[in-house]
Chains A and B, each alone.
Chain A
Amino acid sequence: MEEKLVISSSPHIKGPKTVRGIMLDVIIALIPACLASLILFGWKALLIIMASVASAVASEALYEKAVKREVTVGDLSAVITGILLAMTLPPNVPLWIPVIGSAFAIVIAKQIFGGLGCNFVNPALAGRAFLLAAWPMHMTRDWLNPLTYDAVTSATPLAVLKGTGQGTLPGIKDFLLGVRLGSLGETSVLALLLGGIYLIARGVIDYRIPLGFLGTLFVGTLVFGKPGAFFQGDGVLAILAGGAILGAFFMATDYVTSPVTARGRLYMGIGAGFITLLIRLWGGYPEGVTYGILLMNLVTPLIDRFVVPRYYGYAHDRAAKEAAAGGR
């Protein structure tokens, strides 16, 4: 019997957390937003989410089969990519849009670079950026009126704010509930916040990223939001309109493409908020969340290189910084 004792080096016990469990938590956190999209935009929303998830999972499995790698759809990360991409799509897009977007997200943005953990940009956002560049007409005009499900091509609140579209701005209550034009999952602020708070409470995401992101956007818009006058902008509206909340809680917090240190994550959030602000106020597009996060994804390795904690026992973090900089 004694021969059967396992010999290994410490630690001999491991915690209960698993990658799958974390991914499952993210999916749970997305359920309120999914439900909200169903109520607001009807069965079309369900079809888009299903098409997107199915395409993401199938692309991952097929690609891994093709290159003879282990099929890893069981880790559920592809499901999240699928849901997240669907959340960013206008509710009236043809179904091939989510299918192609998810396939691009999984194959081009994730698998080609080595799969889970190796992608350098958030796959869902890369998919969205691709769709936006490829079929801009669908991505900026295929809206549905919430609750009535009429197809409309009028301007989203952000476009109205920017002055590039005609329309009326909904009230705060409508923003919170999501009764306004917008992508599937970005409209219902309450549902998104519910999921975001769940993720923070479960320790899945770091509050610093959404805090930095939304904080920067709020303050920046407050200060510079109105041309010609400081401190006249509507910071609250900047957070409520558009995809800032979806991006801040669910996209920018993607582990693989955000920094590993707490301070780094705060900087990442601030940076993403700042770029979003730049694009919204002075850029060509009405919305900048996608590019704000994507650009910060690219900067993440730099942040990881220079934002390192002061190691225990070292007087200044210069030594540590040099160590990290030289080490990479």
Chain B
Amino acid sequence: MKRSLFHDFIKGFVEENPTFRLVIGMCPTLAVTTSVVNGFWMGVAVIFVLTFSNVFVSLLRKSIPDDIRIPVFVILIATPVVIVELVMRAYLPAMYEILGIFVPLIVVNCIIIGRAEAFAYHQPVLNSLMDGLGIGAGYTINLMVIGGIREFLGTGQITIGSVSFPGTPLFEPAAVMLTPPGGFITLGLLMAALNIAVARSENRKKARRAA
């Protein structure tokens, strides 16, 4: 069966959602998601790196020797990471300050190397491209949602550029949401919610098949 390109793209949102279903790439998920904007730019960086590395791994998959594939992957991943890092430093210096070490650390992000190993190494270029875009986009949405919740509850508002959506004075911001415990709590609850939703829809599907 030929894999559908659309499916390869869309699966990154729910079915193989990297954060909530595959539970990979957790360090930046917890560390940089104190605001929507942080989450967005981190996500964009990952989309770029992931798509780049997926495409090149896929292109070279026939000529990469099995035994040394991991070092080769790392080189293929490090290249776009360096590009992202330099571009960010040049054009988004403030954001680069905030994301800090987590941009170069994309090199060892499990999502990238995981997709290379599990997907791009065995799949055609176009599929790998879609996979990279899809998983990356899913990841970006996750970071933005977590960041949004934490930013809103932790600072009392969500600020995107010069626009801000205030929550105060409806409630007092809870400082804990900006700290790691707040990140864990948000992540855990979202993960539970998504898993419940997926389990329910699978049950429904099963029931329909049975009927």
**A interface vs B, CB < 8 Å?**
96, 108, 112, 130, 133-136, 138
**B174 A134 Cβ-Cβ under 8 A:** yes
**A135 B172 Cβ-Cβ under 8 A:** yes
Distance, CA A112 to CA B193, complexed state (A): 12
**B interface vs A, CB < 8 Å?**
171-172, 174-177, 179, 181-182, 185, 192
**A136 B185 Cβ-Cβ under 8 A:** no
CB distance from A267 to the nearest CB of B (A): 27
CB distance from A127 to the nearest CB of B (A): 12
Q: Say whether chain B's binding surface is mostly helix, strand, loop, or mixed.
A: helix
- A138: chain B residues within 8 A (beta carbon): 172
**A133 B175 Cβ-Cβ under 8 A:** yes
19 A-B pairs within 8 Å (CB atoms) are namely: A96-B171, A108-B185, A112-B192, A130-B176, A130-B181, A133-B175, A133-B176, A133-B179, A133-B181, A133-B182, A134-B174, A134-B175, A134-B176, A134-B177, A135-B172, A135-B174, A135-B175, A136-B175, A138-B172
Task: Report the number of A-B residue pairs with Cβ-Cβ less than 8 Å.
Answer: 19
CB distance from A271 to the nearest CB of B (A): 22
Distance, CA A143 to CA B147, complexed state (A): 34
A108-B185, A135-B175, A138-B172 known; 7 new pairs, CB 8 Å cut-off, are A130-B181, A133-B175, A134-B174, A134-B175, A135-B172, A135-B174, A136-B175
CB distance from A137 to the nearest CB of B (A): 9
- A96: chain B residues within 8 A (beta carbon): 171
The chain A residue sitting closest to B181, CB to CB, is A133
The chain A residue sitting closest to B175, CB to CB, is A134
Residue of B171, B174, B192 with most chain A CB atoms under a 10 A cut-off: B174
The 4 closest A-B pairs by CB, nearest first: A134-B174, A133-B176, A134-B176, A134-B175
- A112: chain B residues within 8 A (beta carbon): 192
- B174: chain A residues within 8 A (beta carbon): 134-135
Distance, CA A190 to CA B172, complexed state (A): 36
Distance, CA A288 to CA B185, complexed state (A): 23
Distance, CA A108 to CA B172, complexed state (A): 20
Residue of B171, B172, B177, B181 with most chain A CB atoms under a 10 A cut-off: B172
- A136: chain B residues within 8 A (beta carbon): 175
- B192: chain A residues within 8 A (beta carbon): 112
- A108: chain B residues within 8 A (beta carbon): 185
Distance, CA A96 to CA B181, complexed state (A): 21
Distance, CA A134 to CA B179, complexed state (A): 9
- A130: chain B residues within 8 A (beta carbon): 176, 181
- B179: chain A residues within 8 A (beta carbon): 133
CB distance from A135 to the nearest CB of B (A): 6
